Amino acid sequence: MITPEDVAFYIKNIPPAPSVVRQALNFVREGDLIKAAKCAQEDLPLRLYLKTLVNRPIYGFKNEVSDIGQIFGILGVAATQQVLYNYLLSLLTPKKWELFTLTNHQFYDLQASLSKQWENILIHLNIKDKEVYSAISLIPATIIVCNALFASKKREVEQLRSVKALDYNTILKRLSGYDLFDLAAEIGQMWDMSDKTIALIRSASGTVSDLVGEQKVLAQWIHLLLFYVFSQSTYVSAGLNEFIDFQIDFVDDIYDSFSRVVQQ
């Protein structure tokens, strides 16, 4: 169905980050938001994306924010880096979603929702590391990769799933040795994300054994956050609730704290 060669071909064809975004990201990493904003200003689609994203209800601004410098200033270094990665990911979204009943508008809402909830979680965990902050941006890449690899295999997967509750992530892992989180991490590598961010993306599947310390805690929170968001009506209808396997035991010990954070 999906061979290791198909996966290798996909990895080979991951597009590099456009130079303007790459430059803006470099300035953000140095903490220079003014230069980053000037740089971002030059890219019209990026400008439009930032404006649309930041003015989504989940960000809670009363008046429309349109100046890029102002947007970066409000967001701060960590969130700006995260938003730039979100933009890069938006460049990979398909024109038409074939596997999931999803629109790009809903996908951007999903990105915004994950980013905002992740920010609340990191405040709760008292973590200020901008690399950790950015990790959430790459998680929706799993949805894009899944759509790209499985869109033409929908019927075969349906037949498999009529007899066994298998998710796309498990099917891919068993057939190719890679899972969707590995492929999201490959995208992160292509875009020069830090090793820490990439390791965190890989561990968010909830199936990586031997996780310890902060990496385990963060992986648990991302995993549960994913299922919290994927349980919303829009994403259940889109088919996202079933595309990866929920490792309920992996997140069991953080559930109570998680409920308190998301209900704030």
Partner 1 sequence: MRAVVKGRIGIFHLQGFLDGNNAPSFLTLDDIKATEALNIDMLLVSLKKVIFFNKNGLDVFVKLLTSIRNSKHITVGFCDYDHKKFQAINIFYKNEIDFSLFKSEKIAELFVSSNKSDPKTLLLYNEDPSQRSAMAIELFDYGHNPIIAQSFAEFETKKKTPDLYYAIVEDTQLGYFGQKIATRVTGNAIIYTVSNFLDAEIGNTFNIAYHTNSLNVGFRLFIFDAYKVVSMNIHALNFFTKLASSAAEYNAAICFVGFSFEKTPETFKNDLEDAGIMFFNTMDDILKNKELLQELGGGGGATVKQNRVLNKGLINELSHFIDATVSTLNMMTNAQATKNSVNIQSLTIANPADQFASSIGFYGDIDGLIILIFPKTIAKKACELLIGEGNVTDEEILDSLAEFVNIIGGRAKVLLSENKRRLDITLPRTYSDMNTLMEIAQNKKGVQVDLSFEGQNFIFFLTR
Residues of this chain that interact with partner 1 (CB under 8 A) are: 1-3, 156, 158-166, 170-171, 174-175, 224, 227-228, 230-234, 236-237, 241-242, 245-246, 248, 251, 255, 259
> What is the per-residue burial (b if ≥16 Cβ within 10 Å, else e) of 85-95?
bbbbbbeebee
For residues 66 and 72, what is the distance between their CA atoms, to the nearest angstrom?
11
CB of 150 to partner 1, least distance (A): 12
CB of 116 to partner 1, least distance (A): 18
CB nearer partner 1, residue 58 or residue 236? 236
Cα dihedral: 162, 163, 164, 167 (round 10): -20
CB nearer partner 1, residue 66 or residue 101? 101
CB nearer partner 1, residue 11 or residue 254? 254
Distances (CA, A) of 76 to 27, 122, 238: 13, 15, 32
CB nearer partner 1, residue 156 or residue 195? 156
CB of 178 to partner 1, least distance (A): 13
CB nearer partner 1, residue 189 or residue 234? 234
CB nearer partner 1, residue 13 or residue 159? 159
CB of 55 to partner 1, least distance (A): 25
CB of 234 to partner 1, least distance (A): 8
CB of 169 to partner 1, least distance (A): 12
